[in-house]
């Protein structure tokens, strides 16, 4: 089978984790089977479309590394790939179903011909009044210009069976589905009709999406049957919920893909994390490269249980991917964030910048995290005041600071390096007979205002001799 999957977002806003998750799995699955991944835009709801949203979502997909073989900006044999440009196709498909006896025009006004369900008074279904019209009468009224909608001639009895690769067999009584509208009076298609027409025309073989679409599936299955084409493989994966188990939203900590990008997350890390939401690696790995994900992905390991968004797990995955980067790659990644922070950190370069990055690299989940850790190099006045008070009250600590200051002052410029500074601190320890925490903690407190943190020798290298000696002198 020539696998063809699709991602069909609406340009009504930014891409969030919930919808990009479907794109990721469909892309991985298509690449796993050397198939095609199609992007098409469901943009028929003009009132909800947001200017610039299409360009943004395509940019987000490209940044994530989710490339497409056919789409709005990539010519293919099944275009166009915007629903707004496919209106003639939908109307022709409606006419085809009518000619085949699978659909019929309905001339009832909105609400007319509907009946309530005694078991569910809130549910109203179409009675099928116009279904009883003879073909000649229906054609006469259409030709006369009478307004109508096109409805599916749904089964009147029996059971609609749908096989889902994640959830198993799904059965829906035929009476639960009425003759739903395919084409509105103005010729625009309804959601379910447009989706199926597109999937048939684009030869989509696998429809993999969130469980929120389960209710649409029986109707879509009927439409595939009406067109007399094989149904695609359906697979409805877990939804992503908030950490508390509620609806995922910005308030619950989730952000748009563009936000993660702006914060400096690695696309490989976000792709990796999204893949683990509702899917598990057969070898139990949690940190996987793009190629490893493609090689391992399968529908069989998709879970039905909803997945919880875990921002801490995302950050952990981010840190694991960050650890695989070279120093030069991290330097290049953090540089824009340091420049945005302004002087003096924005002016760091060369060995000084490399020392700063080396000091912080194990603390980074995203490039933008570097800004959160700048306090190690430029502590607040409040933090230093508290730290200096603690050092001044400790005679041993004052002794250490005095010896270290002397050692630093005597250090040649060429030895003002992390290695040279560490050697100077060690020598001060020998001179005073103080070792371990008793040696390093006073220096760290005096320089950074904190008891714990990155390699203090690298911090000293970054801030420079003049600033280092000035901070020690304040003790």
- Give the list of residues 6+ apart from residue 402 with CB closer than 8 angstroms, or none: none
Given a contact cutoff of 8 angstroms between Cβ atoms, the answer to whether 117 and 125 are in contact is yes
Give 293: exposed, middle or buried? Use CB within 10 Å, 0-12, 13-18, 19+: buried
Helix axes 456-463, 350-360, angle to 10 degrees: 150
Q: Coil, helix or strand for 206?
A: strand
437 is catalytic: no
Residue 427 exposed, middle or buried by CB count within 10 Å (0-12, 13-18, 19+): middle
Q: Which member of 88, 203, 247, 250 is catalytic?
A: 250
Cα distances (angstroms) measured from residue 300 to each of 115, 174, 281, 306, 330? 42, 29, 11, 16, 37
To which residue do tokens 């989710």 refer?
Answer: 66
d(CA 416, CA 458): 10
Q: Long-range contacts for 452-455 (Cβ within 8 Å, ≥24 apart)?
A: 453/376, 454/359, 454/360, 454/363, 454/373, 454/376, 455/358, 455/359, 455/418
In whole angstroms, what is the distance from residue 386 CA to residue 381 CA? Answer: 9
Phi and psi torsions of 254, nearest 5°: -80, 145
- State CA 258 to chain mean position distance: 9
Q: Which two tokens stand for residue 120?
A: 């569910």
The residues near 156 (Cβ < 8 Å, ≥ 6 apart) are 128, 174, 175
DSSP per-residue codes, 309-338:
P-HHHHHHHHHHHHHTS-HHHHHHHHHHHH
Task: List residues with catalytic annotation.
Answer: 250
């Amino acid at each position: 089978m020539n696998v063809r999957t699709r991602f069909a977002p609406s340009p009504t806003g930014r891409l969030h984790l919930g919808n990009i998750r479907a794109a990721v799995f469909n892309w991985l699955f298509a690449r796993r089977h050397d198939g095609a991944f199609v992007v098409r835009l469901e943009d028929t709801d003009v009132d909800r479309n947001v200017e610039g949203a299409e360009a943004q979502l395509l940019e987000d997909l490209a940044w994530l590394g989710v490339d497409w073989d056919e789409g709005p900006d990539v010519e293919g044999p099944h275009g166009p790939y915007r629903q707004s440009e496919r209106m003639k196709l939908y109307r022709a498909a409606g006419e085809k179903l009518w000619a085949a006896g699978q659909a019929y025009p309905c001339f009832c006004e909105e609400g007319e011909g509907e009946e309530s369900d005694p078991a569910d008074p809130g549910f109203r279904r179409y009675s099928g009044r116009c279904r009883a019209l003879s073909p000649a009468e229906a054609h006469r009224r259409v030709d006369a210009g009478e307004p109508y909608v096109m409805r599916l001639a749904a089964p009147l009895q029996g059971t609609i069976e749908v096989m889902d690769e994640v959830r198993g067999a799904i059965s829906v009584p035929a009476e639960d589905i009425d003759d739903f509208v395919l084409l509105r009076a103005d010729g625009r298609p309804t959601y379910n009709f447009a989706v199926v027409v597109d999937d048939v025309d684009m030869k989509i073989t696998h429809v993999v999406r969130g469980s929120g679409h389960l209710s649409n599936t029986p109707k879509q299955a009927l439409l595939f049957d009406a067109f007399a084409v094989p149904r695609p493989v359906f697979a409805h994966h877990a939804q992503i919920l908030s950490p508390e188990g509620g609806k995922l939203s910005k308030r619950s900590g989730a952000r748009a893909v563009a936000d993660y990008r702006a914060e400096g997350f690695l696309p490989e890390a976000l792709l990796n994390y999204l893949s683990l939401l509702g899917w598990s690696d057969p070898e139990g790995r949690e940190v996987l490269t793009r190629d490893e994900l493609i090689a391992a992905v399968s529908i069989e390991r998709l879970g039905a249980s909803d997945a919880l968004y875990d921002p801490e797990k995302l950050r952990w995955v981010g840190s694991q991917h960050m650890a695989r980067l070279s120093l030069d790659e991290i330097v290049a990644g953090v540089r824009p964030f340091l420049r945005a922070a302004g002087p003096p950190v924005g002016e760091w370069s060369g060995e000084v910048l490399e020392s700063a990055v080396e000091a912080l690299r194990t603390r980074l989940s995203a490039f933008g995290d570097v800004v959160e850790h700048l306090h190690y190099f430029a502590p607040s006045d409040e933090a230093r005041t508290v730290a200096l008070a603690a050092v001044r009250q400790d005679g041993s600590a004052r002794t250490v600071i005095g010896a270290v200051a002397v050692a630093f002052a005597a250090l040649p410029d060429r030895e003002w390096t992390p290695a040279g500074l560490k050697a100077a601190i060690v020598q001060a320890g020998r001179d005073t007979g103080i070792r371990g925490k008793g040696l390093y903690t006073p220096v760290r407190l005096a320089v950074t205002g904190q008891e714990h943190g990155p390699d203090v020798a690298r911090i000293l290298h970054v801030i420079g001799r003049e600033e280092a000696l000035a901070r020690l002198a304040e003790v």
